[in-house]
Chains A and B, each alone.
Chain A
Amino acid sequence: MHSLVEPNAWIALKLPSGNTRILQIIPNTTVSLGKYGSFPSNLIIHRPYHLTYELQDKKPPETFNRLRIVPAAELYSDILSSSDSSNSPDEATPAPDGDDADIPLPTGVEYTLVDPESGAVVATTDRAELNAEARQTLTMEEIEELKKDATDAGKDLIAKLMLSHTAIDQKTEYSLAKYKLLKTRKYIRRFSVLPLDVAQLDYWLLEDKDPAKILDMREEMVALLGCWANVHFGGEDHCDSESPNEEGIESVPNPKQTPGRWLVVDDTGGLLVAAMAERMGILYPVKSKHLLEGPQRPRSPKARRREPPVQPIMTTTTDSHVPTHPAHQPIVAEDNPDVEPESQENDLSKPRSPQASRKPLGEAKQRSNDLQIPYAHANTLTVIHPNSQPNLSFLRYYDFDITNPTHTPTHPLTRHLMTLSWLQLLEPQLDSTYSSEAPNATPEELRSWKANRRGTYHRKRRRWARTHHVIDSARGGGFSGLVVSSTMDPISVMRHCVPLLAGGAPIAIYSQAIEPLTALADCYSIARRGAWVASPPGELAGCSLEEQEHWAGNDEFPLNPALVLGASIQTSRVRRWQVLPGRTHPLMTSKGGAEGYVFTGWRVKPAEGKVEARGKKRSKKRKVEEGQTQGQGEGGK
């Protein structure tokens, strides 16, 4: 995972300006970095991540810029030399480790114009800082001209700019460093390649793209949600769903034996699902063996290129329910080089209906048994969505298209991600697929049909089986946890989701604003819980615990307060710092926007019947408090 840049992988390019750019690295193309120049994509394919490159000058007859890896010593030479130089003159008595400051460091040649001066410049620290632009003798035109034939990755230009600055000797050490940094960020032709994992995607969406789309969900919030919901690898399948003996529709497995099933409500376009899938180890496509073993020996681009699409093979085994081994399934090439990068960015939010998109190649591929469940039983995510189709478009950065999961049969999400709508969950009888009978045709009928009618028939049967499995297993409950990041009222979400959770299952809900969460927490307030225990609503008299769990709530008790324990709200914010020798402080500005809050709690199972909680008499002194402890059970907190 993220060892070398794979061809057609989504990556993030970090530019000197601090911006990131998300790209799919298609072989044999030119990657343009705007004003910073361009380079061939092949130069970063099968190279490591996190390297900083510099665009070299074109060497005729080559028509492209080669890249040079910038070593760390060169990247940090300014900072390190400043820390060493500032150490030595200032310290009257050398610190125990300060006496080695004069050991020469590898300093970049390009800075010789400035560096020798820096010692002298320190002497003029008390002079007033001057407006940098006013003292620049180079005109705009001259700078533009220099930019055009800039050599040496722009360092040349930066040095010239510094030299032609008339007041450079009047600058303080710090303002000089700042001036240089400013010019470097503007002109240096460097970039670094970062893997597009969830943290990076979140950062990019938040900083450069559209934070509203992901409900301003910062990294620390994603991390808190995952931890409090206890989302982790949930174990292997106990029963092998692909066992060839299986016939007909599988029964819904006993929820007690299927650990690691999490329930998700995601209105962040799939970011939350991606983050949880990453925690469960089902986000990244499993790499083929040769890449795991020998990343240094990549296949030639020709060999990597997509093999001709596997022709759909129509076998007659399907109708007679004779199972073939799943290993016979043809593997459809998972990466499609024709996919346009950065295209249809705006379409991301709109769920695409499967009808609108082209029929996938894999669809025609034959499964041994139409009614076999293509989903795993453990380590799964079940997403409940408000529209008829889920919006999980950000998963496309991980080579997964929710509208066409059959496109990528080897992607782990294909087997571990299930989606259903609220209607399918709450009133499945109204769902047309669920309420209908499984299409059934005799083998004779089948044989008489044309190929594409037969294809439709099998597709419908598979869809019927899938829908039934997803709805039945979701309604069966027993989930290991609930994660919510939604614009919907959390009370309504909890009303229907809490009964689906197993006992002791954690709950974590994210909200941009605190008000929906305070309203939710108030449903579980100590006073309300006490009142529930003391006098439960009359309509529940004689109801079993099971019925009480599914109770719709009333004005006084919007939710059954006995089902959730430890309801609390928290928030967290990360503050970034600049750490430079002598200039360490928090960053001056950062992003505002929605603060973001997380509600946490546990699903619990109340005891049958009336529970008394008088507290314990401890001493006469405490007797006064006795009345307050009554019926609280949870203690005075």
Chain B
Amino acid sequence: METYKVSPFLDPGSLTTPDTLSIVHLSRDNIQPVYLQDTTGAVNGYAEGAVINTRFGSFPHSTLINKPWGSQIRASIVDTGSRGRKRKLEAIAADIAAEDTPDDGTGEDASSAGPTKDVKTAASGFIHILPPTPEVWTTSLPHRTQVVYTPDYSYILHRIRARPGMHIIEAGAGSGSFTHASARAVYNGYPTNGGEKKGKVWSFEFNEDRYKKMQEEIKSHLLEGLVQITHRDVYNDGFLVDGESPEADCVFLDLPAPWRALPHLSRRRPTPSQLASAGLEPLNGEESEWKSPLRSDRSVYICTFSPCIEQVTKTIDTMRRLGWMEIEMVEVAHRRINVMRERIGYNMPTERGANQSAGNVEEAVARLKEVERRFKEFNKGRPGATDANMDEDEEMLDEGDLVNGNASRVREAEGLEDTPSTKPWMVGRLIHRTEAEIKTHTSYLVFAILPQEWSEEQEAAAYETWPCGKESKVIGSLNKEARKQEKREMLEGKKRKKGPGGNKADGNHDSDQKNI
């Protein structure tokens, strides 16, 4: 049997290695998956070998390989401009057979033959290189279908008890976010020669393009042996793989009509009346012996993922008819929260995000007074304003202004003096708010459990090994009387232990107790 290389999703090692998936982190919402290539010589016209170009500069792969995960990598000076020009020119050259390419034709020769060019650090920026996890992979996914995002899949995997060693059926692989997350959840080692049963994801996909894409992904992510994807219409053809049962412990259905797949997930063949009552067609292969894709000696957990309520009612109705228990439907509301500093006040630094309005009533009043004072000063010299009463008022106002206005001016001065000592990133009140756009609805999640079958014979056998009628003690909820009795007995037992007499004394002791 083949030996498996461990997927970077499961154990990335401590350094980045060539030919494995890495994640280039540009910003929270700008994450790029990259297969690092250890190339010598020019690639794509780059003298440095394979290069990642971002808005923070260019990063030759050679600067990213054999670095500890999480490393901050500076951009390098890469000649991106002349490459494009050169190509264009080459094309032109081919067309008109012009001989004098203006740029360094020699340089190209050198690079394609010799070792990769040494790179110089550029000042344009940096990136971080992270090991892949299902979470970052999900964030970086190209949208092929609706993606099952982390808040949903984390909860689903928790609820359907996808634990190391389990076998999980996933129908509708879609973009593969759930596939990666479930592979991590059930992983307890790659299959070995010993034939020991290891955790596995049995994935099914109807769309051929997506199936092919997923197959490539599984291979390049080194998940072979852990994930087996089958190109299948599960509504009609069920979940057996090569005629064998996946022996699934848990099931996740991300299908448009999960109720049509449900009859295949039964412990024995659904009766025609069961199917008819749920409005389903009879299953194919009526004659052949029924083989259940479910594990027989354990309860099986299921989750279906449907965006519409009509799908949910139909699914649950079918589940009830097929004997699923503990049926529950939920929806997950997830919010990301932005944390920021709210800067409001007249003395805030004039920069983006600061709100130059009054921060509190005192500030507003001080500013108003200041305005008023200036207004008065402006009007002082004007005729007609000189009235004995007015003068008096003004004097009083001046006094008051002197107190308050000065105070506010002092505060402002302090504020100005403060600025150098209090750093701009510490100014303002710390606040949080939900991000600008939220996913208000992803899908409804229906959970259910199918208990294992339990026959009369099994019951009889269990009853024989565990006969009843010799119960010594009551556990669970007791009535008051019973609790009291228990406590009395417990205390008595303690006393007996402490008591000086041995076992013989017990009888006396008991009777003593009763007498008291």
Tell me, yes or no, whether B191 is within 8 Å of chain A by CB: no
Choose among B71, B164, B334 the residue that contacts A232 (Cβ–Cβ < 8 A).
Answer: B164
Contacts of A568 in B (CB 8 A): 28, 336-337
In the assembly, what is the distance between CA of A442 and CA of B431, in Å?
Answer: 65
In the assembly, what is the distance between CA of A518 and CA of B430, in Å?
Answer: 7
Contacts of B312 in A (CB 8 A): 577, 579, 584
A577-606 vs B, Cβ < 8 Å mask (1 yes, 0 no): 101010010000000000001000011111
B27 to chain A, nearest CB (A): 3
Choose among B153, B423, B472 the residue that contacts A29 (Cβ–Cβ < 8 A).
Answer: B472
Give the residues from 424 to 454 in chain B that come closer than 8 angstroms, CB to CB, to chain A: 424-426, 430-432, 444, 446, 449, 451-452, 454
Q: Which of B34-42, B236-244, B282-290, B314-322 contacts A (4 or more CB under 8 A)?
A: B314-322
Tell me, yes or no, whether B323 is within 8 Å of chain A by CB: yes
Q: How large is the interface on B (under 10, 10 to 19, 20 to 34, 35 or more residues)?
A: 35 or more
A502 to chain B, nearest CB (A): 6
Tell me, yes or no, whether B329 is within 8 Å of chain A by CB: yes
- A42-B467, A103-B276, A223-B157 given; A521·B339 CB < 8 A: yes
In the assembly, what is the distance between CA of A103 and CA of B280, in Å?
Answer: 14
- A522-B339, A574-B332 given; A279·B185 CB < 8 A: yes
- A232-B164, A518-B432, A565-B25 given; A41·B471 CB < 8 A: yes
Tell me, yes or no, whether A281 is within 8 Å of chain B by CB: yes
Choose among B10, B73, B298, B329 the residue that contacts A577 (Cβ–Cβ < 8 A).
Answer: B329
- A192-B325, A503-B69 given; A574·B331 CB < 8 A: yes
Tell me, yes or no, whether A278 is within 8 Å of chain B by CB: yes
- Please tell me if the beta carbons of A227 and B466 are within 8 angstroms of each other in the complex: no
Contacts of A47 in B (CB 8 A): 454, 459, 462
Tell me, yes or no, whether B159 is within 8 Å of chain A by CB: yes
In the assembly, what is the distance between CA of A225 and CA of B285, in Å?
Answer: 45
Tell me, yes or no, whether B330 is within 8 Å of chain A by CB: yes
In the assembly, what is the distance between CA of A589 and CA of B257, in Å?
Answer: 30
Tell me, yes or no, whether B150 is within 8 Å of chain A by CB: yes
- Please tell me if the beta carbons of B151 and A527 are within 8 angstroms of each other in the complex: no
Give the residues from 176 to 221 in chain B that come closer than 8 angstroms, CB to CB, to chain A: 181, 184-185, 187-189, 199
- Please tell me if the beta carbons of A79 and B474 are within 8 angstroms of each other in the complex: no
- A2-B298, A233-B189, A279-B185 given; A80·B321 CB < 8 A: yes
- Please tell me if the beta carbons of A605 and B70 are within 8 angstroms of each other in the complex: yes
In the assembly, what is the distance between CA of A570 and CA of B55, in Å?
Answer: 27
Among A47, A232, A297, A531: residue with most chain B CB under 10 A:
A232
Tell me, yes or no, whether B57 is within 8 Å of chain A by CB: yes
Q: How large is the interface on A (under 10, 10 to 19, 20 to 34, 35 or more residues)?
A: 35 or more
Tell me, yes or no, whether B341 is within 8 Å of chain A by CB: yes
In the assembly, what is the distance between CA of A384 and CA of B5, in Å?
Answer: 33
- Please tell me if the beta carbons of A228 and B150 are within 8 angstroms of each other in the complex: yes
Give the residues from 611 to 627 in chain A that come closer than 8 angstroms, CB to CB, to chain B: 611-616, 618
Tell me, yes or no, whether B470 is within 8 Å of chain A by CB: yes
Contacts of A3 in B (CB 8 A): 297-298, 452
Q: B449 — nearest CB in chain A belongs to which residue?
A: A50
Tell me, yes or no, whether B106 is within 8 Å of chain A by CB: no
Choose among A530, A572, A628 the residue that contacts B333 (Cβ–Cβ < 8 A).
Answer: A572
In the assembly, what is the distance between CA of A298 and CA of B125, in Å?
Answer: 66
Q: Which of A61-69, A351-359, A443-451, A458-466 contacts B (4 or more CB under 8 A)?
A: A61-69
Q: A611 — nearest CB in chain B belongs to which residue?
A: B126
- A33-B476, A97-B279, A223-B155 given; A46·B25 CB < 8 A: no
Contacts of A76 in B (CB 8 A): 320-321
Give the residues from 330 to 359 in chain B that come closer than 8 angstroms, CB to CB, to chain A: 330-337, 339-341, 352
Choose among B55, B131, B337, B471 the residue that contacts A64 (Cβ–Cβ < 8 A).
Answer: B471
Tell me, yes or no, whether B33 is within 8 Å of chain A by CB: no
Known: A52-B325, A504-B131, A579-B313. 13 other contacts (CB 8 A): A24-B475, A30-B471, A51-B454, A97-B278, A103-B273, A230-B133, A236-B189, A503-B14, A504-B129, A528-B425, A566-B28, A577-B330, A597-B337
Which B residues are closer than 8 A to A by beta carbons?
6, 10-14, 25-30, 55-57, 68-74, 123-126, 128-131, 133-135, 150-151, 153-155, 157-159, 161, 163-165, 181, 184-185, 187-189, 199, 273, 276-279, 297-299, 309, 312-313, 316-317, 320-337, 339-341, 352, 423-426, 430-432, 444, 446, 449, 451-452, 454, 458-459, 461-463, 465-479, 482
Which A residues are closer than 8 A to B by beta carbons?
1-4, 13, 21, 23-24, 26-34, 38, 40-43, 45-52, 62-64, 66, 69, 71-73, 75-76, 79-80, 83-84, 96-98, 100-101, 103, 105, 192, 197, 199, 219-220, 222-224, 226-228, 230, 232-236, 256, 259-260, 278-281, 295-301, 341-342, 478, 502-506, 514, 517-519, 521-522, 525, 527-528, 530-531, 556, 562, 565-566, 568-577, 579, 581, 584, 597, 602-607, 611-616, 618, 628, 633-637
